[in-house]
């Protein structure tokens, strides 16, 4: 089964957690100082907020899958859509290890397809002291900076 993913960049995590918890009728399943995520069944969505976006508002959309077979099918559909696919492979982002790919839609909105492999302790899988050359991050197409 697939789950829609929505990621919104916000200025104030605690204020946004209060707002979205009320709106969604649920508390987040993951809370970090710079990130929160709700894994909802009604609607079936992975909704996340973060302070890591380039600007506030919609950061990206995505589709989360339950297995590598679904990911392969979805990746083929993204390639067939006609825009350049950035296949990241296994990476760390948003406090999770995932296998993912990115594409930008005709309006310039970044879409990710991903299969989650497990949890991470940091937002981008590396601490601030890790040299940039050693980081394999979640960067979406067109990003001027990575996580």
* Digit-coded pLDDT (tens) for 35-90: 999 999 988 999 999 998 888 999 889 899 999 999 998 888 888 876 778 888 78
Name the helix (H) or strand (E) containing 111.
strand 110-119
- Calculate ∠ Cα 12-13-15, nearest 5°: 70
Hey, which CATH number is domain 3-134, 3.40.605.10, 3.30.930.10, 3.10.180.10, 3.40.630.40?
3.10.180.10
- d(CA 43, CA 29) in angstroms, rounded, equals 15
pLDDT of residue 1: 77
pTM of the model: 0.73
CA–CA distance from 33 to each of 70, 98, 115 (Å)?
32, 21, 24
Name the helix (H) or strand (E) containing 48.
strand 44-50
Q: Extract the tokens encoding 114.
A: 């991903």
The answer to whether 83 touches 43, Cβ cutoff 8 Å, is no
- d(CA 112, CA 79) in angstroms, rounded, equals 12
DSSP state, 134? G
Helix, strand or coil for residue 140?
Answer: coil
């Amino acid at each position: 089964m697939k789950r829609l993913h929505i990621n919104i960049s916000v200025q104030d995590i605690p204020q946004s957690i209060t707002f979205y918890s009320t709106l969604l009728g649920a508390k987040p399943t993951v809370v970090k100082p710079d990130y929160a995520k709700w894994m909802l069944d009604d609607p079936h969505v992975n909704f996340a907020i973060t302070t890591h976006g380039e600007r506030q508002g919609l950061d990206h959309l995505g589709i989360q899958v339950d297995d590598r077979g679904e990911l392969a099918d979805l990746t083929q559909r993204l390639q067939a859509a006609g825009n350049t696919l950035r296949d990241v492979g296994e990476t760390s982002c948003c406090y999770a290890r995932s296998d993912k790919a990115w594409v930008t839609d005709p309006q310039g909105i970044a879409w990710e397809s991903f299969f989650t492999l497990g949890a991470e302790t940091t937002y981008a899988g590396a601490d601030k002291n890790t040299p940039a050359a050693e980081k394999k991050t979640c960067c979406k197409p067109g990003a001027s900076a990575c996580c």
